[in-house]
Amino acid sequence: MPISVIDLFAGPGGLNEGFSQVIDPHGHRTFKIIASVESNEWAHRTLELRALFRRLRDDGDARKYYRYLTGELTRQELFDSFGNAASSVRKEAMCATLGESASRNIEIEDAIASALKAAGSDECILIGGPPCQAYSVAGRARRRNEEREEFEKDHKHLLYKQYLRLVKRFRPAAFLMENVPGLLSAKHSGAKMFELICDDLSEAGYDLEPIIGGHGSKLAFNDPQSFVVKADEFGVPQARSRVFILGLRKDLNLKAVRLVRANADPVTVKQVLGDLPKIRSRLTREPDTGVNWLAAIKDLRRYEFANLDPDFRTALFDKLEKVNPHYPTGGRPMRRNGDGPDRLTRWLIDPDLDHVVNHNSRGHMRKDLMRYFFWSQYAAFYGISPTVPKVPHFLRPHHENLSVATNDLPFADRFRVQVRNQPATTIVSHIAKDGHYYIHYDSKQCRSLSVREAARLQTFPDNYFFEGPVTEQYHQVGNAVPPYLAVQIANAVAAILSGNGTSRKRPNDKTGMDAGFDSESEECAHIHLGRLALTA
């Protein structure tokens, strides 16, 4: 019997995608998502669609799902085709807000209880993380001018209480809580939020474990940094750090295991994006044609760039002559180039789908097109993204913070190229507002990243479709846990619950690499499961 999973604050489903991919030695799914709770309408629609895909894939026929991805079927037609499965996934993926009201909380809890009963066991694990805006360092910086009293009243500080409440009611064998590193320094009414959360979870009857080394709840206070996981150390093509707290129920005497860092070079931006169809950006505030788009970029030729390195200046103007105005601007389905990316191929690519989706360009102003071209060509030449002081004054953005001396700029990297031979910088939800921090490395495309490119850097498989307007799609991707990291954590959790100290393969060994945990550490001792009726 698979282990039931409850996903809270689920977003578009990055964590539960990872858990759903773990397969036991007999070829059965170790985990089954029985409930996912998300308040955002569009993220919920994405969750619902993904839940349907999992059921169709397990039944061996996802052809209609692929037809939906390519636009041949509407969503309504797809769901109408699978009455019982559609009804089931609508119960699984709940569009609901935890903490909205006492009555709504009861409804959510009762729905979860019903799902557990239907699963045939009250044993479960709980995953997810409260929204991070109140804890993120960037968020606190943007709100530094607010009245302290108003900031302290922000209910998002205490949304973890909703998580705690469900932990206490359902008593999962284990839970996994995720949040931003800013949680470690965040305070509420003078108290450190991380210590408050750890105290409450420990008092609820759980040992708190970092997932990459060490063990024991005392570490929560003595070494909070041990709970920080750097995604690029585990094969994710992105420099993304997040706090993960693994809670193990004390009465079960479960023993933690450690994730093993990838024994390979970091995965780079180009290695996972290089095969995607080339698309050009679009012009905003004026008619968008290939001719107008190219003319906007070539406006750079009216500047002399007299202070640039002569070799770079030559390279810059040479590349201007190679810009192709005939690239498409994207489309819902676009045929993929070749067999897939250079790395993570078997994780990202679905052999039954030869298209990519959510791969559309966004529009940019004429001046920003010139900036994007210059920034990306600078990164191609020097191997780094330039800060504002490195850029000629006539290309610097007109921003109030740029009126200060250029050697003390608070947003000196407000424009940033994702350098091709490095992991990407952290994909965050701000990508929905503008693409300035996510400029594509190929100057000939002269644009910011598409939703699909951001999703690949977050390691969402290509058959993962994000619902809603493009802005909402970016929000979903930026708020998610990378599924490729999630599956490695899920493998470790599976080993903890089964007592098996060796890593498990994913469906069809899609990644082509072991992503497990340290099987030789003391934490991998045999585990007595007590009353847990879990399959090994």
pLDDT for 317-337, tens place per residue?
A: 999 999 999 999 999 999 988
Least confident span in 25-29, 108-112, 142-146, 232-236: 142-146
User: Residue 460 and residue 450: Cα distance in Å, rounded?
Assistant: 13
Span 456-512, pLDDT tens digits = 999 999 999 999 999 999 999 999 999 999 999 999 999 999 875 443 333 333 433
Query: What does each C-alpha distance from 153 to 137, 149, 338 come to in angstroms?
Result: 18, 6, 53
Nearest to 172, CA basis, from 469, 508, 497, 439: 497
% helix, strand, coil for the chain, step of 5: 45, 15, 45
Backbone angles phi, psi at 263, to 5 degrees: -95, 60
Query: Mean pLDDT, to the nearest integer, of 140-148?
Result: 49
- What amino acid occupies position 282? R
- What amino acid occupies position 175? F
User: Residue 127 and residue 5: Cα distance in Å, rounded?
Assistant: 7
Span 384-399, pLDDT tens digits = 999 988 999 899 887 5
Query: What does each C-alpha distance from 372 to 120, 341, 470, 504 come to in angstroms?
Result: 55, 24, 20, 43
Q: Which two tokens stand for residue 315?
A: 């390279």
Task: Give the domains, in start order, of the chain with CATH numbers.
Answer: 3-266+482-524 (3.40.50.150), 269-342+363-449 (no CATH)
Binned at pLDDT 50, 70 and 90, residue 338 comes out as: confident
Helices (H), 277-392: 290-298, 310-320, 345-348, 366-382
Span 433-460, pLDDT tens digits = 888 999 999 999 999 999 999 999 999 9
User: Residue 251 and residue 199: Cα distance in Å, rounded?
Assistant: 17
- Packing angle of the helix pair 310-320, 366-382 (nearest 10 deg): 130
Across all residues in the chain, what is the average pLDDT? Answer: 86
- CA 461 to chain centroid, in Å, comes to 11
End-to-end Cα distance, the chain: 10
Binned at pLDDT 50, 70 and 90, residue 140 comes out as: very low
Span 275-320, pLDDT tens digits = 999 999 999 999 999 999 999 999 999 998 988 999 999 999 999 9
Cβ-in-10-Å burial (0-12, 13-18, 19+) of 497 comes to buried
User: Residue 6 and residue 475: Cα distance in Å, rounded?
Assistant: 22
Q: How many Cβ atoms are within 10 Å of 534's Cβ, its own excluded?
A: 17
User: In this predicted structure, what is the pLDDT of residue 88?
Assistant: 95
Binned at pLDDT 50, 70 and 90, residue 525 comes out as: very low
Binned at pLDDT 50, 70 and 90, residue 186 comes out as: confident
Binned at pLDDT 50, 70 and 90, residue 523 comes out as: very low
Q: What is the pTM of this model?
A: 0.89
- CA 276 to chain centroid, in Å, comes to 19
User: In this predicted structure, what is the pLDDT of residue 215?
Assistant: 46
